[in-house]
Amino acid sequence: MSLRAGTDADRMTSELPGSRVRGLRRASLAAFMILLIQYGFGIYVNLYVTVPGADHGQGIGKAISDGPAALSVHAVLGILLILSAIGVLVQAVIARHWAVLVVSAVALAAIGGAFFQGASFVSQGHDAASMGMAALAGIALLCYGMVLYLLPSPRRP
C-alpha cells in the first residue's frame, strides 16, 4: 500500500510543463470570456432584435451578411467561440490533462449544440431554439469554469 499524498490527477497536473498549463489556462479564460460576451449579445438579440422575415429559412451566412448588426456580431462571435473551444480541446489533448479534456469536450459539444439551436432560431424563429441556446451556453460556461478550477494555480518564480 502506497502512502503517496494526492490523487493521480494531482500528480499528473503537477508534472505538466508550466508553459502548457499557462497556455491552457489562457485559452480557457479566453473561451470563457468570449462565451460570456456571446451570452450577453444573445440576450440582447433575443429581447431587442427582430429577425427579418426574409431571413427565416436562411442559413447563418445570411444572418451574418444581411442580418441586423447585433445578430451579425452574435453569429460571428459564435464562429470564433467554436474555434476557441476547439483550441482549448487541442491544448488539453497535447497537455494530456484528461479531466480538462473531458470537460472541454463537453463544452465544445454544448457550444456546437447552441450554434445549431441558433441557426434553427434564425431560420424558424421558435422560442424553444432560443431557450436551447441559452441553456447550452450556460452548460459551456459551467464547463469552462470547471476547467479553470481543475488547472493548477500558476506558480510564480
Predicted confidence (pLDDT) per residue in 98-120, tens digit = 999 999 999 999 999 999 998 88
Predicted confidence (pLDDT) per residue in 27-37, tens digit = 999 999 999 99
Q: How far apart are the first and last CA of the chain?
A: 35
Q: pLDDT value at position 7?
A: 47
d(CA 58, CA 68): 14
Predicted confidence (pLDDT) per residue in 43-55, tens digit = 888 888 877 665 5
pTM, two decimal places? 0.80
Residue 97: CB atoms within 10 A of its CB come to 24
